[in-house]
Chains A and B, each alone.
Chain A
Amino acid sequence: MREKNKNKNHDFIYFITEGISNMFTHGFMSFAAIGITVACLLIMGTFSLVAVNADATLSKLEDENQVLAFVEESLTTAQARALRDDILAVPNVAGVEFISRDQAWEDYIADFPEIGELAGDEMDSSTLRDRYAIYMDDLSQMADTAEAIRQIPGIARVNAYEELSDGFITLRNIATIISVTLIAILFLVSVFIIANTIKLTTFDRREEIAIMKMVGATNGFIRWPFVYEGLLMGLLSALIAFFLQWGLYHLVTSGISTNDLFSIIQIVPFSSLWGAVALVFAGAGIFIGVGGSLSAIRQFLKV
């Protein structure tokens, strides 16, 4: 048993050594394959991170953004309070808060004390309406929800900032569509280039492979060094892409956080993303590398 394990370790070292040696034999092609895979991972990562941040910003808006529904003036406060259940029954409504005209006036004066001073005794809470602050589960359905609330008898008007939420939803959707499309295309390109790099290696070593087959090497034994070559290229690409992504993210997010124009954007810190980024990059690198090498070696095993 010990001898068998020792032998497996011996094989593993052999496969790794051969894999590394293969990679350096076609240095330029390996460099190109790694370069394109890094580009693929970086584009994939960048668009995914844009989508993640758009999502975080949307969540923030969902938490903070409220739709205001104004009650008709003819209703008494008691009648206005009675509308609460009707509003809660509307799909996508997560919560409601009744704000009486007196409370609304106090909040207004607190927010704009200079207007309170100007108004003096000539204006009071009667100039305002009773209202509901309404919170939603899904901001993407804001327009439909606002319309449903408008239809409730007793509701005079609904203020919903649909443009803002729609903008973020569009951004998230575009980022998702672009990243999915680019990922699919670049995945195929990367697999193709890695497959071609390994095909060169296998073509270079076709005599050796034929000899291996002739002395009784199994397909698995022949395949492993090439699989390791692809695996190493994929992992190396993932490692390079990870650090580039980190730097790029830091650069862009620090630019955004110091610019007031983008203050609405909720930036997710890289410290809470790096694990997922590393995992996805490593997984994608392994998939591209091993997939490429397996597709390249297949034809050379038919001896």
Chain B
Amino acid sequence: MIRLTDVIKEYSNGTRALNGLDLEIKDGEFVFLVGPSGSGKSTIIKLLTGEVVPTEGRVMVNGFSLTNIAEWQIPYMRRTLGVIFQDFRLIENKTVYDNMLFAMRVVGATPKEIKKRIPYVLRLVGLETKQSRLPNELSGGEQQRVAIARALVNNPSTIIADEPTGNLDPARSLEIMTLLKRINELGTTVLVVTHERDLVNRFDERVVMLDRGRVISDAVGKYGVKANA
């Protein structure tokens, strides 16, 4: 579960990115986080991944309190998350399989676990036939599916996707979002940060809208509907 309570984040240059933000995402939910540039979306991602700490307020992620988390605990908190980026962030000189192997190795997975888990996840994202390809031999959509596979491979309880369709055409975007929805249906909490209104409106899911560091709308349904803000 993710819970942000009365969070204020002010950077050293004086910019206040979050201004008393409250947000709760329960286990198993699928949530779109939307809002204009500068609304605080990226700061929320950075807070949830432990890259920055809140100036005030409390941030809880899957049982870890990030307000006063010890540095050595951050890697273990991150293992409960799978993060997907707009630019995929794959290792270019490693094959699809090796990118996933790398992600499993760094968290100390056993060879037995690796052998079992990677083929399963590759099947889940539909890339079982492309495991020995290098990232630059794949289309943008396929590269994002590799990134999703890598995020899933360590079996996180939450997936955080930061503009996962930003570099894709509408057809591939829909494909990726459908895949994320399918992963959510298998029990993983999914938080998608996006500004693609049409795409969001194709899914009947919870949409949290931000503006100037605050939640201005939080409702199941359509992007832009003002509800219980």
Contacts and interface: CB of A to CB of B under 8 A. Distances in A.
Interface of A: 3, 6-7, 10-11, 14, 207-208, 210-219, 221-222, 303
Interface stretch (B5-13, B53-61, B100-108, B191-199): B100-108
B106 A221 contact: yes
A216 B153 CA distance: 12
A218 B75 contact: yes
Given A214-B49, A216-B78, A303-B51, A207 B106 contact: no
Contact of A10 (B91, B102, B111): B111
Contacts of B89: 207, 210-211, 214
A217 B49 CA distance: 13
Given A207-B89, A207-B91, A208-B91, A215 B49 contact: no
Interface string B119-158: 0000000000000000000000000000000100010000
Contact of B154 (A10, A207, A215): A215
B21 interface: no
B79 A215 contact: yes
Nearest to B83: A214
Contacts of B81: 216
A215 B152 CA distance: 10
A20 to B, nearest CB: 16
B157 to A, nearest CB: 13
Interface string B39-67: 00000000001010000000000000000
B165 to A, nearest CB: 19
- Shortest beta-carbon contacts, A-B, top 5: A216-B79, A217-B106, A216-B78, A218-B75, A215-B103
Name, among A14, A207, A211, A222, the residue most crowded by chain B CB atoms within 10 Å (CB to CB).
A211
Contacts of A222: 106
Contacts of A11: 105, 108
B91 A216 contact: no
A209 to B, nearest CB: 10
A213 B103 CA distance: 10
Contact of B78 (A6, A207, A208, A215): A215
B68 interface: no
Given A10-B111, A216-B154, A303-B51, A211 B75 contact: no
